Amino acid sequence: MQTDSPIETVQLDKSWQQLLSEAVSEPEQLLQRLQLPGSMQASMQAASENFALRVPEPFLKLIEPGNPQDPLLLQVLPQARELDQLPGYVADPLAEQSSNPDAGIIHKYHGRLLLVISGGCAINCRYCFRRHFPYQDNQLSGTQWQAVLDYLNEHPEVEEVIFSGGDPLATPDSRLIRLIDDLEQLPQLKRVRIHTRLPVAIPQRLTDALRQRLSRSRLQAVMVLHLNHPNEIGDELKHWLQPWRQSNITLLNQSVLLEGINDRAEVLIELSERLFAEGILPYYVHLLDPVAGAAHFDMDEQKARQLVGAMAAKLPGYMVPKLTREQPGVSAKVQLSPDLPDKS
């Protein structure tokens, strides 16, 4: 890579909030920054108007300039085929709106409650299963937060609260800490879990203030990151993760199987190896949720079973994520058995 690349010359001594606010949001800007043909802009425009383009600077640095097939680029690149209407691909693939009893609450599984902490993300992944979610109807204002606490009091079986979104880490530390303070007052709760892709997009989001608050919480803290490809583990993420791996916080990863991006066994094996080297345990690898606009990422179930079978044949069991899919109305994620290759 040339040292005078426009990406390399950008200074990243900025706060995570600055990096978030300055994310690339126009197709023309993305193409210029990554030295890609301007002829790609027309096919990107309509898709980006339907679902906004959003890519922050640290993630841009991980993409190879001039390569329209870069696996990280393909996850964020608006494409005209997102507008194709295909049978079986719908706006609410997990029927979450039927499990949305009050603003900001999704209650699908026994013992666990998901809270939509923020409707915003640092990066708009084109396969996002909530790309059509009605975030405007799920804002957690002060009054609605009290309703969440009341709901939890009425459901003593809930032992774990999951911060989700959007991305919950798009919310300032001060607000997250206030929420944790309130949740700690509910004696039934044992764990708080944060599902986030923001540290992958902006590693600077892994602040000491949040880490310290989670590490001293009476609630067991779990952070589930979302990395799909080994190239997403750059030096900045390694640096910012180091204090977190040394704290009393469980670090897990979940991936989505994406055709043309991580659809080879060697890529998934390298991802697990690099995750574990950074203190992150591979947790789930999901089949794509059939959301409208993402059909081109979908992978055949048999191919997915073979890929995870190939991982199991090469890796120790603790580094092989569980192959799962979500189905509306089912009481838990559905685990799929890997298709193990014959021993040669």
pLDDT tens for each residue of 8-22: 434 457 999 999 999
More confident residue, 16 or 104: 16
| Closest of 12, 8, 17 to residue 63, by C-alpha | 8
Average pLDDT of the chain to the nearest whole number:
93
Percent with pLDDT over 70 in the chain? 96
Lowest mean pLDDT among 4-13, 22-31, 125-134, 171-180: 4-13
118's tokens: 């923020």
Instruction: Tell me what pLDDT residue 331 has.
Output: 82
What is the distance between the alpha carbons of residues 197 and 118, in angstroms, rounded to a whole number?
13
More confident residue, 191 or 96: 191
Rounded percentage of the chain residues whose pLDDT exceeds 90? 83
3-state secondary structure of 243: helix
Amino acid at the residue 153: N
pLDDT score, position 344: 64
Token pair 């591979």: residue:
282
> Residue 237: pLDDT above 90?
yes
Closest CA to 204 of 5, 4, 21: 21
pLDDT at residue 11 in the model: 43
Q: Is 140 helix (H, G, I), strand (E, B) or coil?
A: coil
Per DSSP, the three-state class of 129 is: coil
**CA–CA separation, 151 and 85 (whole Å):** 38
Token output for 24: 């690339």
pLDDT, tens only, 249-301: 999 999 999 999 999 999 999 999 999 999 999 999 999 999 999 999 999 99
Q: For residues 127 and 252, what is the distance between their CA atoms, to the nearest angstrom? A: 21
- Assign 55 to helix, strand or coil: strand
* Coil vs helix vs strand at 224: strand
6: pLDDT strictly greater than 50: no
Question: In angstroms, rounded to a whole number, what is the distance separating the alpha carbons of residues 110 and 67?
Answer: 45
Q: Residue 42 and residue 44: Cα distance in Å, rounded?
A: 5
